[in-house]
Structure 1
Amino acid sequence: MNSIAEQIADFLSDYAPFNYLAFEELSQIASDVKVVVLEKNQTLFQINDVLHDSFYVVSSGIINLSVISDSEETLLNKCAAGDIFGLRPFFAKNNYMMTAKSREETIVYAIPIASFRPFVANNPDVLNFLLESFAVNTRNPKDKENLIGKLISDNVFYSDQQSEMQYFQSLTYNLNPLKTTLYSSVQDVAQQMTASLTNNILICENDFPVGIVTDTDMRTKIATGRFPITVTVDKIMSSPVVTVLENVSLAEAQLLMLKNNVTHLCVTLDGTDKSLVKGIISEYDLIVAQANSPGVLVKEIKRSQTAKELKQIRDRVADLIQTSISKNVPLSHVFNITSEINLALLKRTVELSILDLGSPPARFAWLSIGSQGRKEQLLFTDQDSILIFEDVAAEKYRDVKDYFLKLGKKTTATLEKIGFSSCPNGHMGSNMQWCKSLTDWIKQYDNWMNTPGENSSDLSSIFFDYEIIFGEQKIEDAITDVIFKNVMKSTLFFDFLGNDALRNNSPLTFFKKFHVEEEGEHKDKFDIKIRALMPLIDGARLFCLSFEVKGINNTFQRFKQLSITDPKHAEIYLNCAEAFLTLSKFRTLEGLKNDNDGQYINLEELSKNDKEKLKNALAPMRDLEELIKSKFQLTQFS
């Protein structure tokens, strides 16, 4: 063994996952490793480059991993000695999704995947290291302090949600695979595959899979003359077949193919080769599934030019939500993913309006309020927004406001085409009342908070749940500042909001029956939005404002934070957080089933078990109500 390979093996042995391998194995890998010397600021690979045949380990120096979002480069991670990066070729067929560039003179080791793959397949510790890291996109999962051997997944989607999401994302695959018996001739099988335009056929006995023949077998065993075309198919099949359960996820399928070095998985009733065949998953199916991953959807949104294109993407989100819920993905996680996609949709809609109208005459901020402002919009609900533009000279004011009203109207009209219906209360940036200058908005919030009884007709608490969609962050910050400045002195405001939070009747009657609608089109249905979710949403907002908790708008996260801020009542807050997720899940399932916003639950269609679950989720509301009454000593409007 040459001395360079020896040095490389010696270096790798200090870092996971290489430290799971025997030194002889490392030496074997090291003899294939290429040493790459990079000058300062030299790019090793960039976004959309074709995948290399190697992954990389930093020997010395620093590699910066970055993505470009909205034409800004965002640094995701720095890799130092011992860090692994560029693993994408292991897990996917599409191009790189990030750029790797040296920050200073750097040496990296390029480890050929073909040389490393057998060690992954034969060593569960190495596979588990890659598998866990890929699944959770953390650094070294075995080493909580992250001191050595960080593994950087380059599966990018805004936050670290993308690779995790692949653990829940299901696959569409061939439910009617070609099948044949052990004693069919290769010639017949080849004709069958050609006629069906497919590259694989399962060999079955009693409908149990015993082998598979693919185009590769035909090329390597028949076309090369190793076997004559007249032999029976059992002579050339690959056996045993790798089998999986029906609900295998994208990431699990990728990792099984990697582990077993195969290109097809057979789906069976119980996931073993001793049960009935249900379908076949090919590498191509994995590529198609990746096209529906959140990161890809966001990229498609950014490239979209019309409302029609955006609507098609938004329609695919419903499938993502349905799949996630059926796979028991934590709902808080689904909220995060969906709100990122909705955010991208809303942002692109504003951009398209600006492309049409020309550059804005002043800086501005478009804010989503209500459910999207809280990152809780899973289903198509109505759009709520406000538009704030910077202060301009008096003589310019009318022209500037005219432009932004046009922008508001154009944007809300496009959003309606995408599927976000107009707000029935007119809370939208297209409404003159909700499209105004920063000074006017500051006056508006001052009035609401200091004299809430006088103009309560237009005070909606949703104005205190907002998220910037497009524009100047400083404008949003100015609104936050004015709210928290007023919080210090406004007892009246808390009286008003407190009573507002308590205004809805209890969801259950004295006899613990559901309060249902007594008349109208939703007669006998349970209004889960008004009677169950709104009291929790209002309560979380009320306490966060009073404890001056800034920057958290999501109801679940608000309750989690309150349990830390006000530990004396932590149990109530944590119970409310769980209740919120359970109730949201009921609403989402109802909405997906009926293609609406899921507000009214048909109790007749719930199982006894689900009714109990729903009742139990309503229990913490009584404690929350009592806490509101005692903390705010409601007197003013009671």
Structure 2
Amino acid sequence: MTDLDLPEVTDFLAEHAPFAAVPREDLERLGRHLTVRYARRGTHLMSVGKGNDEVFVVRSGAVQITDENGSLVERGGEGTGFGTTALGGQPSRFDVVAIEDSLLLVMSSEVFTDLAGRCSAVRDFFSEQREARLRHALVSLPHQDRHSAVLQTRLRDLLRREPITTTGDATIRAAAELMAREQVSSLLVVDGDRLTGIVTDRDLRTRVLAAGLDTGQPVSAIMTAGPVTSSPDAIAMELILEMTSRNIHHMPVVDGDRPLGMLTSTDLMRLERANPIHLVGDVAKAKDLDALVLLSQRLPRIVDQLVHEDATADGIGRIVTAVGDAIEKRLITLAEQALGPAPVPYAWIVLGSQARLEQGPGSDQDNALVLSDEARPEDLAWFESFAAFVVDGLVACGYPPCPGGIMASNPEWRRPLREWQAMFARWVNEPTPEAVLRSAIFFDLRILHGERRLVDALHAQIAATARQSGRFLAHLARNAAHNEPPLGFFRGFVLERKGEHKDRLDLKRGGFHAIVEIARVQALSRGLPQVNTLARISAASGAGALAPETAANLHDAFEFIRYVRLTHQARQLREGRQPDNFVSPEELSSFEKRHLRDAFHIVRSAQQTVVQSYPLGFVT
């Protein structure tokens, strides 16, 4: 560009983001390396799948950017920049067409890379564009190779009839006659237009017939008061999650307090997605381990169906966890039936992905026992046998043992409360690498069965001590920043170099698990109680530990990477293989490859933020 044009171009760039934040002397240096290109209306400036080695800024005119599916991503006029995602030989994921006669300022990849390296505002601006595109990709996911959108159906559209109601003072006999006449398995109990309770055919069996109750008694004597309800604007996927996690088969749909109707697990059969609800119910009734093993074999098909419909990765994780919880609870009940009652109160806790409601196919088991301080030496044999029964049962049901031995069958993870409290205090006050590793999984803790007061006491200590220990948080932060995303030069993938997963991409270590670690340390730094990763991200953002933009980007990256993993694992399950976290690049679609790069870049940026937030240089 000639010196005569330089002031005008410099002034133009200074009026548009991100160049407005670039020092004047750097803008002038940039201007000397720009060229001008004219594009007539209709000119294709970039095409999906084709390489690019230039970055463009619209000087005048306008361009339209669409994705590989033809969906509109952006229309931009003066100051619009594009081309950064296809640098370094990467195929473009977008079509860019001039929709008006346009003048373009063009810089080579070398010039752009130099500028971005010297000016964080430029680097961050184009990173934000990348993040916006990942969000666009997530919105597009339900339409990628999926059969329908049934799980997005609003509950109001599933209601097939007016609500069948009775009043609390109606007799049990009259209620049973009404249910028979209307051929329904439940009634809504109302006071005027307000829902007050629900009575089901199970209530009639267990609370009336089995108990020999007089059927002239009022329905209010046997109803479930204040039942769980759902909004008519909720979607079917949310209903399935709620009913699966609670193991219930009837859900009143209400507008405020006014009942609109009842949805049952039978209604959901129309969506062909009732399987997890019925599976959880069947698990709760299993008579022995053999029955549980057979039931557990139904889970892979459910996962495969959900992956190929419009369920989110988070939703699938919650359903898989609900099934895992049900199996583990049933094993606990069977163990107590076989061994007799526990000698002292206890709490069975789950850790890791199960505690976070993020289990996937093939997840190993992580669990522990918190015993009452009343436990005597002679009581420990019972708990040893109890833990072995449950852990071995989980293995038989397809939940592999934890490679690190984090299981209640290991005496190290089966202790009275006072010992847990003392051990945790040592972990925080003397954060050795092993202590940090053990405590990290212990922060992801959820009670599954037993005395909640034991776990509440431990939770209170964890929340109080971790937040106050800057040195310990720095160790956790170092771990969060240590496992870098598998991105190399020019944002190519870094594959495993040896071992059984050679030449495959690890989606866990520097991918979704890195986000788990980032969310954990940021939540703990504010003393937040959430355990689920997405809930931690949201809470950390609300508490000021994460910028809102960073939180939104991490949410999207977490969802997308887990979606790719679930797709991979569903394929492995169909082929009769053990699911894992290592995917071959050849099995990824171009859509998945492109947006995985964006997701990994977001993880890397968030890790850099963590490094800046904690004095990692003093951690040894």
**TM-score band, normalised by the shorter chain?**
0.5 to 0.7
Relative to structure 1, the CA distance from residue 634 to residue 457 in structure 2 (aligned partners, 3 Å threshold; closer, same or farther) is closer
Of the three residues 516, 526, 529, the one matched with 2:505 is 526
* Residue 537 (structure 1) aligns with: 516
Compute the displacement of 1:584 (Å): 0.9
* Residue 376 (structure 1) aligns with: 358
Relative to structure 1, the CA distance from residue 505 to residue 354 in structure 2 (aligned partners, 3 Å threshold; closer, same or farther) is same
* Residue 461 (structure 2) aligns with: 482
2:617 is paired with a residue whose SS is coil
Segments of 5+ residues of structure 1 without an aligned counterpart are 1-16, 18-28, 75-99, 107-128, 157-161, 170-249, 252-288
* Residue 536 (structure 2) aligns with: 558
Partner Cα separation in structure 2 for residue 366 and residue 59 of structure 1: 41
Of the three residues 169, 177, 183, the one matched with 1:39 is 169
Relative to structure 1, the CA distance from residue 630 to residue 319 in structure 2 (aligned partners, 3 Å threshold; closer, same or farther) is same
1:616 equivalenced with 2:608 (yes/no): no
Partner Cα separation in structure 2 for residue 589 and residue 554 of structure 1: 21
Contact 1:62 1:102 in 2 (8 A): no
Residue type of the partner of 1:525?
Answer: R
Compute the displacement of 1:454 (Å): 7.5
Q: Which segment is superposed worse, 587-596 or 489-498?
A: 587-596
Partner Cα separation in structure 1 for residue 551 and residue 515 of structure 2: 10
Partner Cα separation in structure 1 for residue 309 and residue 236 of structure 2: 19
Partner Cα separation in structure 2 for residue 437 and residue 57 of structure 1: 45
Contact 1:307 1:415 in 2 (8 A): no
Contact 2:283 2:292 in 1 (8 A): yes
Q: How many residues align?
A: 424
Of the three residues 367, 391, 408, the one matched with 2:373 is 391
**1:443-482 pair list within 5 angstroms:** 443-453=422-432, 456=435, 459-482=438-461
Relative to structure 1, the CA distance from residue 523 to residue 561 in structure 2 (aligned partners, 3 Å threshold; closer, same or farther) is same
Of the three residues 559, 564, 576, the one matched with 1:586 is 564
1:500 equivalenced with 2:479 (yes/no): yes
Of the three residues 576, 579, 589, the one matched with 2:554 is 576
Contact 1:516 1:527 in 2 (8 A): yes
Compute the displacement of 1:515 (Å): 1.4
1:412 is paired with a residue whose SS is helix
Contact 1:373 1:465 in 2 (8 A): yes
Compute the displacement of 1:530 (Å): 1.1
Contact 2:496 2:506 in 1 (8 A): yes
* Residue 490 (structure 2) aligns with: 511
**1:131-146 pair list within 5 angstroms:** 146=256
Relative to structure 1, the CA distance from residue 451 to residue 130 in structure 2 (aligned partners, 3 Å threshold; closer, same or farther) is closer
Compute the displacement of 1:312 (Å): 2.1
Residue type of the partner of 2:514?
Answer: P
Relative to structure 1, the CA distance from residue 64 to residue 133 in structure 2 (aligned partners, 3 Å threshold; closer, same or farther) is farther
Of the three residues 261, 286, 309, the one matched with 1:304 is 286
Deviations 1:370-408 (A, max 9, x none): 11111111212111111110002xxx6221222111111
Compute the displacement of 1:300 (Å): 0.7
Relative to structure 1, the CA distance from residue 44 to residue 489 in structure 2 (aligned partners, 3 Å threshold; closer, same or farther) is farther
1:349 is paired with a residue whose SS is helix
Partner Cα separation in structure 2 for residue 607 and residue 64 of structure 1: 50
Compute the displacement of 1:443 (Å): 0.7
**1:230-249 pair list within 5 angstroms:** none
* Residue 633 (structure 1) aligns with: 615
Contact 1:365 1:475 in 2 (8 A): yes
* Residue 56 (structure 2) aligns with: none
Partner Cα separation in structure 1 for residue 189 and residue 383 of structure 2: 51
Partner Cα separation in structure 1 for residue 417 and residue 201 of structure 2: 31
Compute the displacement of 1:490 (Å): 0.7
User: What percent identity do the matched residue pairs reach?
Assistant: 23
* Residue 434 (structure 1) aligns with: 413
Relative to structure 1, the CA distance from residue 461 to residue 140 in structure 2 (aligned partners, 3 Å threshold; closer, same or farther) is closer
Deviations 1:510-544 (A, max 9, x none): 33111111111111101111121221111111111
Relative to structure 1, the CA distance from residue 44 to residue 446 in structure 2 (aligned partners, 3 Å threshold; closer, same or farther) is farther
Residue type of the partner of 1:326?
Answer: H
Contact 2:361 2:579 in 1 (8 A): yes
Relative to structure 1, the CA distance from residue 424 to residue 135 in structure 2 (aligned partners, 3 Å threshold; closer, same or farther) is closer
Partner Cα separation in structure 1 for residue 557 and residue 401 of structure 2: 29
Partner Cα separation in structure 2 for residue 589 and residue 133 of structure 1: 23
Deviations 1:299-339 (A, max 9, x none): 11111122222122222122222111211112222222222
**1:7-156 pair list within 5 angstroms:** 39=169, 42=172, 52-53=182-183, 58=190, 60=192, 63-65=196-198, 102-103=219-220, 146=256, 149-155=258-264
Deviations 1:212-260 (A, max 9, x none): xxxxxxxxxxxxxxxxxxxxxxxxxxxxxxxxxxxxxx24xxxxxxxxx
Relative to structure 1, the CA distance from residue 613 to residue 37 in structure 2 (aligned partners, 3 Å threshold; closer, same or farther) is closer
Residue type of the partner of 2:593?
Answer: K
Partner Cα separation in structure 2 for residue 589 and residue 490 of structure 1: 40
Relative to structure 1, the CA distance from residue 427 to residue 37 in structure 2 (aligned partners, 3 Å threshold; closer, same or farther) is closer
* Residue 347 (structure 2) aligns with: 365
Contact 1:385 1:429 in 2 (8 A): yes
Compute the displacement of 1:150 (Å): 2.9
Partner Cα separation in structure 1 for residue 195 and residue 259 of structure 2: 13
Deviations 1:248-292 (A, max 9, x none): xx24xxxxxxxxxxxxxxxxxxxxxxxxxxxxxxxxxxxxx58x5
* Residue 295 (structure 1) aligns with: 277
Relative to structure 1, the CA distance from residue 501 to residue 415 in structure 2 (aligned partners, 3 Å threshold; closer, same or farther) is same
Partner Cα separation in structure 1 for residue 610 and residue 236 of structure 2: 44
Relative to structure 1, the CA distance from residue 63 to residue 625 in structure 2 (aligned partners, 3 Å threshold; closer, same or farther) is closer
* Residue 58 (structure 2) aligns with: none
Partner Cα separation in structure 2 for residue 101 and residue 297 of structure 1: 34
Partner Cα separation in structure 2 for residue 558 and residue 299 of structure 1: 30
Contact 1:379 1:597 in 2 (8 A): yes
* Residue 333 (structure 1) aligns with: 315
Partner Cα separation in structure 2 for residue 543 and residue 43 of structure 1: 57
2:447 is paired with a residue whose SS is strand
Partner Cα separation in structure 1 for residue 545 and residue 439 of structure 2: 29
Contact 1:588 1:598 in 2 (8 A): no
Compute the displacement of 1:152 (Å): 4.1
Partner Cα separation in structure 2 for residue 575 and residue 359 of structure 1: 49
2:489 is paired with a residue whose SS is coil
Compute the displacement of 1:548 (Å): 1.3
Relative to structure 1, the CA distance from residue 572 to residue 104 in structure 2 (aligned partners, 3 Å threshold; closer, same or farther) is same
Compute the displacement of 1:601 (Å): 0.7
Contact 1:526 1:602 in 2 (8 A): yes
Partner Cα separation in structure 2 for residue 45 and residue 134 of structure 1: 29
Contact 1:41 1:104 in 2 (8 A): no
Greater relative CO (CA pairs within 8 A, separation 6+): 2
Relative to structure 1, the CA distance from residue 319 to residue 409 in structure 2 (aligned partners, 3 Å threshold; closer, same or farther) is same
Partner Cα separation in structure 1 for residue 436 and residue 472 of structure 2: 14
Relative to structure 1, the CA distance from residue 139 to residue 581 in structure 2 (aligned partners, 3 Å threshold; closer, same or farther) is same
Structure-1-length-normalised TM-score: 0.60
Compute the displacement of 1:616 (Å): 1.6
1:151 is paired with a residue whose SS is strand
Contact 2:486 2:494 in 1 (8 A): yes
Relative to structure 1, the CA distance from residue 412 to residue 629 in structure 2 (aligned partners, 3 Å threshold; closer, same or farther) is same
Compute the displacement of 1:101 (Å): 7.1
Segments of 5+ residues of structure 2 without an aligned counterpart are 1-155, 157-161, 208-216, 224-230, 240-250
**1:217-228 pair list within 5 angstroms:** none
Partner Cα separation in structure 1 for residue 201 and residue 472 of structure 2: 43
